[in-house]
A and B are shown apart, each in its own frame.
Chain A
Amino acid sequence: MVEFLMPTLGSDMTEGTLVQWKKNVGDRVAKGEIIAEVDTEKAAIEIESFHTGFIERLITRPGEKVPVGTVMAIIREEGKPLEQVKVEVKAETKPLVEPPPSIAKTTVPSPATGPGRLRISPAARQLAAELGIDPSTLKGTGPDGSIVRDDVLRAARVGGIPFTGPFPLRGDDKGEGQVSADRQTRIRQTIATAMARSKREIPHYYLSTVIDMGRAMTWLKGENLKRPVADRLLYGVLLIKAVALPLRQVPELNGLWKGNAAIQSHDIHVGVAISLRQGGLVAPAIHHTDKQSLDELMKRFQDIVKRARAGTLRSTEFSDPTITVTSLGEQGVETVFGVIYPPQVALVGFGKVVERPWVVEGQVVSRPLVTASLSADHRVTDGHRGGLFLAAVDRLLQEPEKL
């Protein structure tokens, strides 16, 4: 039996309103499936379940506002008999069993905790993962200073959680009770908080390079000529993939800054900046970006843009980006000097493609060029590594068929 809790989705979130349950008592819910829609004062967000099982009880009623960490529902885990409930509760105060493998990357202990293992009860570890809290930043009050469930809950309530990204603007605000209007002001405030924190805390450095897009554009044109209209690829998808792949070679740029240390992410989840027509922007993650084919990426990109604008993004899409890509070319801008989304450590920007003179094999020719820029956290990387990364992006775009 596990508890489904009101998660925290931002540093200043202390409570949330249940908009609706997506499951009924007795329904099966799979890990990663949407279980509820929660309004966080800034947006309605679809919350995913961290467990697979059956809904045993729905405690919170739609329209009810509850603090972060409140038990909202009970899920009976699949394949687990009722007797195990007691075992799990015991494990909280006296960790006898091996902690479960981390659910979210945020549970990876940071190097700041030293070579020893982080002392944390399995229940606290799981709760921290569900609430998106990095346990290495917590002070334990349990036996021998170990972190227990209460420590995690306390941290969640005081809001000591790193900001995880801007929130979506709900495109279709039907004014359902507490789900109030005026989201534009609030989304602006959210962006203000994140960007002020970024400029206050992150020592940015900036690099840029001009990339010849001739081969990539020709390849894309040929590819799209063969495809029915619904299967055509957008140029932006090539850029997203061309950023994701080199992160395997320069992994320092792919991760978060938490507590006082950099945490590289094993997985590459590129956040894609999407501007909203009403104003503001969101940058949700396309999970495992490096592993998707261009076709898959295109479908995922279409889907995420549509949902960003409709206000139906999922909680993990906000919490999981490990780097962000922004493309301002459509607005006619040539170069982006990006501001990093804390707690990420890098942002890659692309301007518009311009036809300019370019020297190819000693001849001046007209080529489509794009300026790629990198804003990176100098606490984590130096210009040398950043330069290697941008050079790798350039190389990949010269061989688009390898993307």
Chain B
Amino acid sequence: MKTSLRPDEIKKTVLRLLGEIAPEADLAVVKPDISFRDQLDIDSLDFLNFVVALHKQFQIDVPESDYPELITMDGCVRYLQRKLAQ
């Protein structure tokens, strides 16, 4: 099913999902081009949980080989826009 979401909608959703996974992290200061790991102390388990959450939210399959595309906010927006348009 083709859907399209505006970048700001994707950002908002990504922030919400990150907030659910890492409630202790300060999401107000997330920079778009720096990895979540470096900014929010997100570890591999948090990241896996994030991918699971994206899968549930957007009904998309994210193979492990795509993980590097999802490590920043900019990357997430690009990846999700592309995936959702497929």
Contact = CB atoms under 8 A, between A and B. Distances in A.
- A and B physically associate: yes
Interface of A: 171-172, 221, 224-225, 228-230, 232, 234-236, 275-278, 301-302, 305, 309, 330
B25 A234 contact: no
Contacts of A275: 43
B67 to A, nearest CB: 10
B16 to A, nearest CB: 18
Contacts, number: 39
Which 8 pairs show the lowest CB-CB distances between chains A and B? Answer: A277-B24, A229-B55, A230-B52, A277-B41, A330-B43, A224-B64, A229-B52, A305-B45
Given A229-B52, A235-B44, A330-B43, A278 B24 contact: yes
B64 A225 contact: yes
A228 B64 CA distance: 10
A229 B23 contact: no
A366 B51 CA distance: 29
Contact of B45 (A225, A230, A302): A302
Nearest to A235: B44
B61 interface: yes
B45 A229 contact: no
Interface in B27-86: 37, 41, 43-45, 48-49, 51-52, 55, 61-64
Given A225-B63, A275-B43, A330-B43, 20 more contacts: A171-B23, A171-B24, A172-B23, A224-B64, A225-B64, A228-B61, A229-B52, A229-B55, A229-B61, A229-B62, A232-B64, A234-B44, A276-B24, A277-B22, A277-B25, A277-B41, A278-B24, A305-B45, A309-B24, A330-B44
B60 to A, nearest CB: 9
Interface of B: 22-25, 37, 41, 43-45, 48-49, 51-52, 55, 61-64
A235 B25 CA distance: 24
Nearest to B46: A305
Nearest to B22: A277
Nearest to B54: A229
Contacts of B55: 229-230
A277 B25 CA distance: 7
B37 A330 contact: yes
The residue among A221, A229, A234 with the most chain B CB atoms within 10 A of its own CB is A229
A89 to B, nearest CB: 48
A290 B49 CA distance: 25
A229 B62 CA distance: 7
Contacts of A277: 22, 24-25, 41
A234 B47 CA distance: 10
